[in-house]
């Protein structure tokens, strides 16, 4: 994927989040993850600062802890993903953050459904990255089901704010199912 395409996709997600759901922290981390710019152990080792290419703290698998491992291959992250997929009722491929955005963009879903799923994707990336940081810097272990619950809570709250809009009415059955 070219840089321009990533920027276009992220700008679209940016607009989605800005216009409707206001998860600016999530948007920022998603933006970095889509460009593989988060400071993973792998990147820091390549930059000559800090870490060796050591184990992922979420699943304790031997390294390298990089974007592909954290958001695609990590067994801990996969558990978050599968919990979300069951709730969303749609299959989203387990691929790099930018490719997920592309997948959503190419789907023939109504706009609100695309926005909701893009926001869920951003929240997933954000909470996985936060769990990784909490484990490393605070020694706090987060369990995957609590992340799924947090994402559901946040996204349901935002859906309820926009449930009466014209866009929402186009896929009202889907949105109501997410809120129940």
Between the CA of residue 60 and those of 54, 83, 114, 138, 165, what are the distances in Å?
9, 20, 34, 17, 45
128 binds Zn ion, rule: CB under 5 A: no
The yes or no reply on residue 88 touching Zn ion (CB under 5 A) is: no
Which stretch of DSSP H or E encloses residue 63?
Answer: none
How many whole angstroms separate alpha carbon 121 and alpha carbon 151?
9
State which residue, 118 or 128, has the beta carbon closest to Zn ion.
128
116 belongs to the binding site for Zn ion (CB under 5 A): no
The stretch among 48-56, 84-92, 95-103, 112-120 that binds Zn ion (CB under 5 A) is: 48-56
Is residue 57 a contact residue for Zn ion (CB under 5 A)? no
Q: Computed over its alpha carbons, how large is the radius of gyration of the chain? A: 16
Nearest distance in Å: CB 143, Zn ion: 14
Interface pick for Zn ion out of 59, 90, 136, 163 (rule CB under 5 A): 59
Residue of 13, 34, 74, 118 that binds Zn ion (CB under 5 A) = 74
């Amino acid at each position: 994927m070219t840089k321009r395409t990533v920027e276009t996709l992220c700008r679209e997600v940016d607009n989605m989040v800005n216009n409707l759901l206001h998860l600016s922290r999530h948007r920022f981390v998603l933006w970095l993850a889509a460009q593989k710019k988060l400071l993973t152990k792998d990147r820091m080792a390549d930059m000559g600062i800090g870490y060796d290419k050591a184990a992922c703290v979420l699943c304790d698998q031997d390294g390298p802890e990089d974007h592909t491992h954290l958001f695609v291959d990590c067994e801990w992250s996969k558990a978050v993903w599968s919990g979300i997929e069951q709730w969303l009722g749609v299959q989203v491929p387990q691929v790099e953050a930018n490719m997920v955005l592309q997948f959503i963009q190419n789907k023939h879903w109504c706009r609100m459904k695309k926005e909701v799923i893009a926001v869920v994707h951003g929240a997933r990336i954000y909470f996985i990255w936060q769990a990784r940081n909490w484990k490393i810097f605070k020694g706090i272990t987060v369990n995957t089901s609590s992340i799924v619950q947090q994402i559901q809570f946040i996204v349901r709250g935002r859906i309820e704010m926009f449930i009466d809009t014209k866009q929402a009415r186009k896929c009202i059955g889907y949105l109501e199912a997410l809120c129940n």
